[in-house]
Chain A
Amino acid sequence: MANTQTDPGVIPGPTSRAFDMLGGTPLIWRMASLALFFAIWEIAGRTNFNWAFPTFLETMAALWEMLANGSMFSAYGRTLEPLVIGLVISLGIGVSAGVLMGLRRDVEWITLPVFITMQAAPMAALIPLITFVYGIGLTSKVLAVCMLAMPVIAINSYKAVRNVPPSLVDMSQSFMGSRRQQVFKIILPAASPMMFAGIRLGVAEGFSGVVLAELLITPTGIGDLITFNRSVAKFAHMYAAIFSIVAFAVIAVSLLHRVETSLFRPEKRGA
């Protein structure tokens, strides 16, 4: 029972599956697999199998250029706005809805089907619908982030609460703990590892939501960088923009994992 930290039942979304696999392996192997991937990329680029496919080194040079002239930073300034707003909303609503569904059958009965449907539905197909209702502004992009991030966060929070070992709940009851103490001292801490796994997956989904929105609604920020460079056939720059958003998402998700461990898991800090 000590190792309830591993999260067996976490439900990944389409994007987050890839991020999740990167999580558990030791650093050297992750570096080695990255190096191998970049080498294959370089070789594939040099074979000229596709005139629009740049080599790894060309891409890195383009990335450096965009970093140096500041276009990358201003693009991220635009992209981060809907991403951060959307993630904050998704976290707030997703976690509280998930916890409530886990604690109360009536809330579960009403709310769970909504999130299950949202998780299963191909959200990209709904983006034109959002645009139709909310226009092409910030609201639509925030909604796109929420639609992708919230279901994963809510469903995993719900499952986390349901997976709390029943004997811990019995324990709190037998030592005369109130319902409030039971929720705050037992259920939430016991659920937090799986809840955080869900949050990490949700953040990863949020990234794909914001990119989808910027590609499908109106090109702004990083989506603009991708679309613009494609339209003027600067493919190395286009790939560099794509590469940067992937790297950014991976780093953000890993940082989140660090923060979780150092703030909430005293028993793992020393290890």
Chain B
Amino acid sequence: MKLVGAISFYALVVVIVVVAVFPFYYAVLTSFETGTAIFQVNYLPVSFDLGNYVAVLTSRNFPISILNSVFIATMTVLFSLFLAVTASYALARVPFRGRSTLLLAILAVSMFPQIAVLAGLFELIRFLGLFNTPWAMIVSYTIFTLPFTVWVLTTFMRGLPVELEEAAIVDGASPWIIITRVFMPLLWPALATTGLLAFIGAWNEFLFALTFTASETTRTVPVAIALLSGASEFEIPWGAIMAASVIVTVPLVLLVLVFQRKIVSGLTAGSVKG
């Protein structure tokens, strides 16, 4: 009886792992196949052809899309961390009237469906002359990175000892000095977690990136992959799509695996959407 239990438990573990990993494994497998090999279903690797990778990386626009995505995601992270650190100090440490209302309002923003602001943002982006530039995305992504960054950092700052700050105040430190000199060194773990999650969010975003770009050279990676087309309308370049997918996913998977614990703690503290 016990043996049966153990065997079925491990069978369940195997099923979970296979289901979780197989699609990515299969994408990698396909990305190494070219020509007609791609149209034969293989369960195990049979060919190792870098043709798709060469094709994607030497194409005119895909490398530009990667640079666009790196730039946009990095700027989004810096932008929202800067805004969030100062704000969460005020929210965590200074009692003022309307504080909980403000926190609730920020939470409400994180629940906004993106489509509800799309029309208004579209107008704003056009008005500011940001349409079809990376700044359109950097500005609009704060709508989903800022709320959870503020929440997680506020929670984290509340947990820091009050004595630290009091000692600094007694020494005559201004709030700005307190943030930059006293809190920042302690905040690194929380900054790393929220920064990472904001980066992933900005890297993966699709709706705004699709709507606020108009030319191939301003596309981000998800848009480029979604709109990657072959020589003709009916010929979908699956090999190239899989190679592009693997290229943009591997760094992300590595990041997530390396920072597993941080991400899990960030997710549970902020309950960020996936």
Q: Do A and B bind each other?
A: no
**Residues of B near any A CB (own CB < 8 A):** none
